[in-house]
Structure 1
Amino acid sequence: MDEVLQISRVGEHVLMVNINRPEKRNAINGAITLRLGQAVKIAEEDPQIRAVVLTSTGEHSFCAGADLAEVASGRQAALQTEEGGFAGIVEARRLKPWIVAVDAPAYGGGLEICLACDLLVASSRASFGLPEVKRGICAGAGGVFRLARRIPPVVAYEMLATGESISSERAYQLGLVNRLVEPGEAVTEALRLAEQIAGCAPIAVQQSLRVAKCASDLNEANLFALMGEAGRRVNQSADASEGPRAFLERRKPVWSGR
């Protein structure tokens, strides 16, 4: 249990990933980067995994971003992988949905990791910010554009230009946070959400999210074409027959993911 990043299975279909470096505010080092990249690969390659919950240990920091000691010592390259970019995840290509459970402040690279995930559950103890401009740099691991896609652009512009943070309550109001809970309850709620996702047809979930993520990048003609391709993949799956059959037989569907 002393690994800096712990990977475990919760039930049959949910993977739990926990950043476990609280003494360093869960800052990203080379070991976490390597393991987080491995977690992405494990989730994508295991047909039984339908959702992933990412969290961290401790109440003081969800993740402080890059470990400055590693940067100062010239080991900055170890904080990226070829497939996943920073922390092994912010640029990773994946189909499985990731839910991040945040129970402490998430600033800088920590927020960028959150923005790389699909859904966000936060406690009232959490807060969010990209303070890079206060240190003469910018949020280069996706924060500068992903934040403006997740909340109203004018609010994102203010956060990016001032480096100031917002509370989890404000983040919930703006739509950055899906579910807001009491301190200590973020992981429980994220697992509940993961189980809801796992109860749905996995290919349908993956293809729906795949199209939704392109909504702001493509025009409607291209989106309909992409949706047509996704729809064919879903309709050709065994689960497309299982769903209606289970409904007619008044039973819970048994998804195969094929």
Structure 2
Amino acid sequence: MTEGTETQAVRIEEHDGGICVITINRPHARNAVDGATAHALAAAIDDLEARDDLVVGILTGADGVFSAGMDLKAFARGDTPVVEGRGFGGITRTDIKTPLIAAVEGYALGGGTEMALACDMIVAARDAAFGQTEVHYGIVPPEGGMVRLPERIPRNIALELLLTGDPLPAARAEQLGLVNHLTEPGQALTRALELARRIARNAPLAVTAVKRVLNERTALRDLDALHEQDRYVTPVLASMDAREGARAFAEKRSPRWQGR
């Protein structure tokens, strides 16, 4: 490791060989993302993209948890983890040219799963879990869950997960092809670094070209699909049920749905 910087919400470490590790650093909130964190992540991605000496990025979470997704307490106060034009966490609607690996420990829930889906590869600990839990809180996963998950795993299984909000264990995710590599608990970042080094030792122009071609085939189409879905999703996110779900979470009670 050559150097590191840290903000309140995001920690950045540069490793030899052109590898940058971006860590969501809010363990007190299970690395849930609020507005400040989203903007810090967007700035970290911008720096990764602007640097010719950085070849691969890794996104992870501090203290054994990837991310609990949206900070519902902040959302209930009117704070949003979405950066305009960039999506959730400043990542999910961004066309990122640098290969990005998600290193997942613990769980990636809601927007946490969507950030992992926005990455090109996923390394996960065996006891990790993914989950699009938004339906529990009166909202839907608008930042990639409904678009990218059915492209990564069979549609019927994706639909079950989206409609129930049930977790997807990492071992099952690996069987379905969502996870590239499974590791023992606590080893996801180590394995992600090994993968990143295997990528970074190759010619940077070739690496960038491969990523750009695949973006043209998949990621850019995903962005179009995300924009198209907004006409269905926007009314849900603005509904009374959405606010009730966040309030119920903050107040530790069962939500009282009204269907409006």
Which residue, out of 142, 148, 151, partners 1:149?
151
Q: Give 1:66's aligned amino acid.
A: M
Structure 1: tracts of 5 or more residues without a match? 219-258
Corresponding residue for residue 63 of structure 2: 58
Query: Does structure 1 conserve the Cα–Cα contact (< 8 Å) formed by 2:17 and 2:200?
Result: no
Corresponding residue for residue 51 of structure 2: 46
What is the deviation of 1:95?
Answer: 0.6
* Deviation string, structure 1 residues 18-76 (Cα, Å, up to 9, x no partner): 111111110101221111001111111100100001111123x3211111122111122
What is the deviation of 1:12?
Answer: 3.6
Does residue 21 of the first structure (1) align with residue 14 of the second (2)?
A: no
Following the alignment from structure 1 to structure 2, what is the Cα–Cα distance between the partners of residues 17 and 212?
A: 23
Following the alignment from structure 1 to structure 2, what is the Cα–Cα distance between the partners of residues 127 and 63?
A: 11
Query: Does structure 2 conserve the Cα–Cα contact (< 8 Å) formed by 1:58 and 1:104?
Result: no
Following the alignment from structure 2 to structure 1, what is the Cα–Cα distance between the partners of residues 57 and 219?
A: 25
Q: Give 1:73's aligned amino acid.
A: R
Does residue 4 of the first structure (1) align with residue 31 of the second (2)?
A: no
Distance 1:10 1:217, change over 3 A: closer
Which residue, out of 120, 123, 146, partners 1:121?
123
SS in 2 for 1:58: helix
Corresponding residue for residue 100 of structure 1: 102
- What percent of counterpart residues are identical? 41
SS in 2 for 1:17: strand
What is the deviation of 1:167?
Answer: 0.8
Query: Does structure 1 conserve the Cα–Cα contact (< 8 Å) formed by 2:104 and 2:123?
Result: yes
Query: Does structure 2 conserve the Cα–Cα contact (< 8 Å) formed by 1:120 and 1:178?
Result: yes
Which structure is higher in RCO with an 8 Å CA cutoff and minimum separation 6?
2
Distance 1:120 1:198, change over 3 A: same
Query: Does structure 1 conserve the Cα–Cα contact (< 8 Å) formed by 2:19 and 2:57?
Result: yes
Q: TM-score, normalised by structure 1?
A: 0.79
How many residues are aligned here?
Answer: 215
Which residue, out of 16, 36, 39, partners 1:34?
39
Following the alignment from structure 2 to structure 1, what is the Cα–Cα distance between the partners of residues 83 and 169?
A: 31
Following the alignment from structure 2 to structure 1, what is the Cα–Cα distance between the partners of residues 32 and 204?
A: 32
Q: Which runs of 4+ in 1 moved over 3 A?
A: 213-218
209-218 or 14-23, which deviates more: 209-218
What is the deviation of 1:216?
Answer: 5.7
Structure 2: tracts of 5 or more residues without a match? 1-5, 221-260
Which residue, out of 111, 132, 136, partners 1:109?
111
Query: Does structure 1 conserve the Cα–Cα contact (< 8 Å) formed by 2:17 and 2:201?
Result: no
* Deviation string, structure 1 residues 84-108 (Cα, Å, up to 9, x no partner): 2111111112210000100111111
Corresponding residue for residue 228 of structure 2: none
Q: Tell me which structure has the larger Cα radius of gyration.
A: 1
